[in-house]
Structure 1
Amino acid sequence: MLRYTLMRLGIFVGCLVVVWGLVYSGIVPRGLGDSNGMWVVLLSLVISAPLSFVLLRKERDRASETVVRRVDRMKANLDANRSQEDAVVDETTASQRTAS
């Protein structure tokens, strides 16, 4: 998961550098007034999102498999805990009935 995040951040930073260079060379128009920095960041985000969607497909699939395994393991642990609690409650109920 960390690898995917770092790769996505790398694509964003690469787009940021390219867009910054294009804006300051005059190829891409500057933002209005003091909004130039925000313009560069937003344009970089818009460009990097589809790029990372296409370029990081395998890494994203690998990260999602890891997340699914973790969730399945947590569900299994919760089910095991529930069954242990049910067993304790059943034993307590049975012992209370025999004591009465």
Structure 2
Amino acid sequence: MLRYTLMRLGIFVACLVVVWGLVFTGLAPRGLGASNPFWILLLALVISAPISFVVLRKERDRASVQVSRRVDRMKANIDASRAQEDMADDAARAGGSAS
């Protein structure tokens, strides 16, 4: 999961550098007034999102499998705890009704 996040961040930073270069050289619009830094960030985000979607497909699938396994493990632990609690509750009820 960390690897996927770092790869996404790397693609965003690369897009940010390219967009900044294009705006600095005048090949891309500079934005309105003082909005230049926000314009560059927004443009880099819009460009990096589809690139990440296509380029990181396999890595995203791996991260998804890891998250799914973690969720399944947590569900199993919760179910096991619930079963132990139910058994303890049943035992307490059975012991209390015997007197």
**Which band: TM-score by shorter chain?**
over 0.9
Please list the CA deviations of residues 8-61 of structure 1 after superposition, one character each: whole Å capped at 9, or x if unmatched.
000000000000000010110111111111100000000000000000000000
Q: Which amino acid aligns with 1:54?
A: V
Structure 1 residue ranges (4+ consecutive) displaced by more than 4 angstroms after TM superposition:
none
**Tell me, which stretches of 5 or more residues in structure 2 are unaligned?**
none
Secondary structure at the aligned position of 1:34 is classed as: helix
**Tell me, which stretches of 5 or more residues in structure 1 are unaligned?**
none
Instruction: Write out aligned runs for 1:1-100 (5 A).
Output: 1-99=1-99
Q: Could you tell me how far apart the structure 2 residues matched to 1:98 and 1:16 are? A: 73
CA RMSD in angstroms, aligned pairs only: 0.4
Q: How many correspondences in the alignment? A: 99
- TM-score normalised by the chain length of structure 2: 0.99
Identity of aligned residues (%): 70
- TM-score normalised by the chain length of structure 1: 0.98
Secondary structure at the aligned position of 1:35 is classed as: helix
Q: Could you tell me how far apart the structure 2 residues matched to 1:98 and 1:32 are? A: 81
